[in-house]
Amino acid sequence: MSTYLVPDQTTSHHRTAINGENQIPKEEEEAYNKLHEKLDGILATMPKDKGWRSQNIFLYKDFWLSSGVIKGLLMIHDYFQPQPTDIFLAAFMKCGTTWLKALMFATANRNRFKFSDHPLNRTGPQSAFPFLDTHIYLDYPVTKFDHLPSPRLFATHFAHSLLPTSMTSPSSTAKFVYVCRDPKDAFISKWHFMSKLRSKELTPISFNEAYDLFCNGISEYGPFWDHVLGYWKASRESPEKILFLKYEDMKREPSMELKKLAAFMGMPFTAAEEEGGVVEEIVKLCSFENLSNLQVNKDGGGAQKFTAQVVVENHDFFRKGNVGDWENYLTEEMRNRIDSITETKLKGSGLTLGLTKKT
């Protein structure tokens, strides 16, 4: 099981159903069983299609989700209690979650740790804070996150419209940092990643098949475009609640984007910090070059447990970290199809994907 840097609440709050000191109250167990019945009902009736990692994904409230994360979503709705100071990192898969996790953790805790001996260099970013979607049930029957220090940081891949209003409503002061990426790069990254995770008992998904599924919106947490648009629109309505970032802008000007991030998180860099090089230290610490070369992120260096079945090597979260790798994979025709879907879907939204043009 993954351990979280501050503090390790996955083990300290582990409770057991077996007779013992921390026995689970009967009502809690009954509620948990009811939730499972609800999940079974959903899975039996929802439209399903081919999953990229598992056999099937299900169309739940307009988004394609695996059974494991539908369970997480139901639990978030029933049990998760957001705090006014919570900050959620949200992204479609493969758009920069790992990078942002490192940046947000390093920024929020910059006065706690020395850069010369930083815990991120020992544990890697995956362990920096919980991935809400499945961590919510890693401790039976439900994980309590009460002991995380404030501001609590969480990551999620869920679409904005799927999350409870206690988290998303503009009247709640919890914040979201959303990072998006050119869908062509997100697709290439996701195909590599999911091919590694795909159960060996299933036939592999070919590149062309994955491409068609992606274009049709059918991939875990997709459709990609609806995901991005949901957060984009919400960020336009409540810019103080949702910061909308782009992977490409971060690659171009990491220091500038980091300053934006810190200010949004309510922890702007002071003039003394800027003069002292703190911004550059964080950028360097969280760079692909630094993180991908850490022992904990090398092959066999460490892993994350998402569910009982899904354990992912830290190493697999790092591939190339480039903008435009799609050029090495997509034909002209394939590129045009994705670009034209993007154009149609985003028309009138004011959003363009990829690098923001400087005015």
Rounded least distance, CB 96 to ligand A3P, Å: 5
Among residues 98 and 156, whose Cβ is nearest to ligand A3P?
98
Rounded least distance, CB 297 to ligand A3P, Å: 9
Annotation says 157 is catalytic: yes
Rounded least distance, CB 115 to ligand A3P, Å: 16
Among residues 189 and 304, whose Cβ is nearest to ligand A3P?
189
Please give the single-letter amino acid code of residue 121. Answer: N
Among residues 74 and 283, whose Cβ is nearest to ligand A3P?
283
Among residues 42 and 155, whose Cβ is nearest to ligand A3P?
155
Among residues 23 and 322, whose Cβ is nearest to ligand A3P?
322
Q: Which of 106, 77, 78 is nearest to 281 (CA)?
A: 106
Residue with tokens 């850069």: 115
Strand-strand pairing, 153-156 and 56-60: unpaired
Q: How far is CA 202 from the centre of its chain?
A: 25
Residue with tokens 């010369």: 116
Rounded least distance, CB 78 to ligand A3P, Å: 27
- Rg of the chain (C-alpha set): 20
- Concatenating the DSSP letter of every residue in 33-79 gives HHHHHHHHHHHHHS-EEE-SSSSEEEEETTEEE-HHHHHHHHHHHHH
- In angstroms, the CA 176 to CA 168 distance is 8
The helix/strand/coil state of 244 is strand
Which one from 118, 135, 157, 227 is the annotated catalytic residue?
A: 157
Binding site for ligand A3P (CB under 6 A): 91, 94-99, 185, 189, 192, 286-288, 291, 317-321, 325
Sheet holding 175-180, edge to edge: 153-156, 87-91, 175-180, 242-246
Rounded least distance, CB 253 to ligand A3P, Å: 13
- In angstroms, the CA 7 to CA 333 distance is 49
- In angstroms, the CA 68 to CA 70 distance is 6
Measured between alpha carbons, how far apart are the two ends of the chain, in Å? Answer: 47
Among residues 15 and 315, whose Cβ is nearest to ligand A3P?
315
| Contacts (Cβ under 8 Å, ≥6 apart) of 275 | none
The helix/strand/coil state of 276 is coil
Rounded least distance, CB 193 to ligand A3P, Å: 7
Active site residues: 157
